[in-house]
Structure 1
Amino acid sequence: MAEDRKEPPFDGGSQPVPHQKDPVPGPGRSAAQVITLIVSVLIVAALAVYIFAR
């Protein structure tokens, strides 16, 4: 049954893997990080004002 399948011969050892370049984040990701940072700072500032205004 196993002889019915056609498989490439095994050469032994590891097979070479083609190299792929690492993805470089574009300007869109950087802008999203800046917006998230600004929103976080505004939330912390609003909480501080709420706590100290009581």
Structure 2
Amino acid sequence: MAEDRKEPPFDGGSQPVPHQKEPVPGPGRSAAQWITILLCVVVIAAILVYIFGR
């Protein structure tokens, strides 16, 4: 059964891997990151007001 398959000849050594560019995040992802940072800052500020406002 293995004889039925044809495989390319082995050249030896490692084969080159084609280079792929990393995807650049779009503006939607950037906006989501800023909203998350802003939400974290607001939560931390609320905690500090609660602690020191007593």
Q: Quick check: TM above 0.5?
A: yes
Aligned Cα root-mean-square deviation (Å)? 1.5
Matched position secondary structure for 2:45: helix
Q: CA deviation at 1:26?
A: 0.9
Matched position secondary structure for 1:16: coil
Q: CA deviation at 1:2?
A: 5.1
TM-score, normalised via structure 1 length: 0.78
Matched positions, count: 54
CA distance in 2, matches of 1:2, 1:30: 51
TM-score, normalised via structure 2 length: 0.78
Q: Determine the structure 2 residue equivalent to 1:15.
A: 15
Provide structure 2 residue ranges, at least 5 long, that are not aligned to the other structure: none
CA distance in 1, matches of 2:5, 2:29: 47
1:38 maps to a residue whose letter is L
The share of aligned pairs that are identical, in percent, is 78
